[in-house]
Amino acid sequence: MRYAYSASRRTCYSTVRSWAAAAETNPSKPSRRQYCPSLPTFPCHPMAIMRHLNLHRFSSLSNALRQCPNTTPWAPAPISLIHHSSESLFHVAIDVSDHPDLINSHAWPGQYLQLRLPHALKPVFLAIASPPSLSASTGEFEFLVKSVTGSTAEALCRLRRGDVVELSSVMGRGFDMEEISPPEVYPTVLIFATGSGVSPIRSLIESGFGADRRSDVRLYYGAKNLRRMAYQDRFKGWESSGVRIIPVLSQPDSGWQGERGYVQAAFARAKQISNPLGTGVVVCGCRQMAEERHFVKFSAVMNSMA
């Protein structure tokens, strides 16, 4: 089992594959190693992965940027749409049609960039929520932004259509779904996301990864309550593409009949894995989720099933 990830201060993206040999690299796409050649390939055992995380922790995105320097100038671009997606989360669309190179650099779901405002002290890192195909056809990048008091993100969420922001080049290797291809060999894919971490997961699902040709694809999506759960209007479409949505609420209202607590614990209660060797896992959420004991227990469950 191998993890390939790109990490930030608040969000980590991980792809897990089986012990089987890796799929051959698609020659039609540039290698992700060309973007960040120093990002590691981890050992093959799941508990070795957790020991690596516990000993070394996730590096900050600033460290990643020092390893992969950004030489692209900041690109000014106007906001084309901004509105609430859920409580404290905003849907933001930015018109990048004047920057075709920027659009073309968005090649894989899970990539991200920096956004800065004229009077903000520092930029904010945002995962691109729209799939690459949509960005190419509409000339827009879409984001799911959490408004945090006193942050650049909060200032961004106060802007209006037509206001101009600045974008860096697109960064990161994204989700390497070739690691769990073809679907016939990896029929089970487990996806875990919390809060605004569902943003790149939207890009992944809507990009398509053969979910309709897999027997078991599940998204465990965690939020405090339904008012804080974004993209509920997209759930039906995601389900029709072959992804089963399992909302998990940590502080639900009294009438909630679904899963409660942590996404990892919800999976551990289900324990519905018929073939661990044919199972892939995608994790996207805060660093604490990946490091805390609940995720370690989740990895132990996967290890015991194998």
What is the CB-side half-sphere exposure of residue 151 using CA atoms within 13 A?
Answer: 13
Gyration radius of the chain's alpha carbons: 19
pLDDT (mean) for 35-53: 35
Mode of pairing for the β-strands spanning 89-95 and 112-116? unpaired
Mode of pairing for the β-strands spanning 188-194 and 216-223? parallel
pLDDT tens, position by position, 93-135: 999 999 999 999 999 999 999 999 988 779 999 999 999 999 9
The lowest-confidence range among 26-30, 34-38, 100-104, 185-189 is: 34-38
Instruction: Provide the percentage of residues in the chain whose pLDDT is more than 70.
Output: 69
The lowest-confidence range among 71-75, 87-91, 208-212, 252-256 is: 71-75
| Angle at which helices 263-270 and 293-305 cross, to 10° | 30
CA distance 166 to 188: 40
pTM: 0.74
CA distance 129 to 131: 7
pLDDT (mean) for 43-72: 39
Strand order from edge to edge, sheet including 89-95:
124-127, 112-116, 164-167, 75-86, 89-95, 140-146
CA-based diameter of the chain, in Å? Answer: 54
pLDDT band at 231 (very low <50, low <70, confident <90, very high): very high
- Which alpha helices (H) appear in the chain, and where do they start and end? 46-56, 61-67, 100-104, 132-138, 152-157, 198-207, 235-240, 263-270, 287-291, 293-305
